[in-house]
Amino acid sequence: MSHSGTCIRCGFQDESFLHCIQDCEFSRRLWNHIDFDNLDFFLNLDDWLKLGATGSQALTFLASVWWSWRHRNLMCLVNETWSLSRLSFNIRAMVETFRN
C-alpha cells in the first residue's frame, strides 16, 4: 500500500485492498457511475463478492475491481489520475472485449 498508510485517492482512511476497491469514496463514486448504485450492494463483504462475481453483471464487476486497482497503482507509481468517465470507458471496453 502507500508509504503513509493513508489512501492516496481519498486521503482520509487507512489504505487496504478492500478500501481501495470498495470503501474509498472515489471507488464508491466509480461503482455508482457504472450503475452499481444499490446501497445493499455494499453492506456485507461476502455478499458483495458473491453478488458481484456471480450475478448478471459479473464481467462488469470484475473489470471494475481490476480497473479500480490499476488506477490506484497508476496514482501511486506514476502520479497519474483518471476521471470517472475514463475509468468507466475502460471498464466497458474490457467487458465488450471479453464478450466478443
pLDDT of amino acid 73: 93
Instruction: Please give the grid coordinates belonging to residue 60.
Output: 462488469
State pLDDT tens for residues 33-78: 998 877 777 778 888 888 888 888 899 999 999 999 999 999 999 9
pLDDT of amino acid 86: 96
pLDDT of amino acid 3: 54
What are the domain boundaries of the chain?
17-99
Which amino acid is located at 45 in the chain? Answer: L
- pTM summary value: 0.86
Cα–Cα distances in angstroms (integers) from residue 10 to residues 55, 72, 93, in the given order? 29, 11, 26
Most confident residue range from 8-17, 32-41, 80-89 = 80-89
Identify any residues that bridge with 6 across adjacent strands, giving them in sequence order.
14
Indicate whether 2 pLDDT > 80: no
pLDDT of amino acid 56: 85
- 29's CB contacts (< 8 A; 6+ apart) are 84
Query: For residue 6, what is the DSSP state?
Result: B
Would you say 62 and 49 are in contact if contact means Cβ atoms under 8 Å apart?
no
Indicate whether 4 pLDDT > 90: no
Would you say 45 and 89 are in contact if contact means Cβ atoms under 8 Å apart?
no
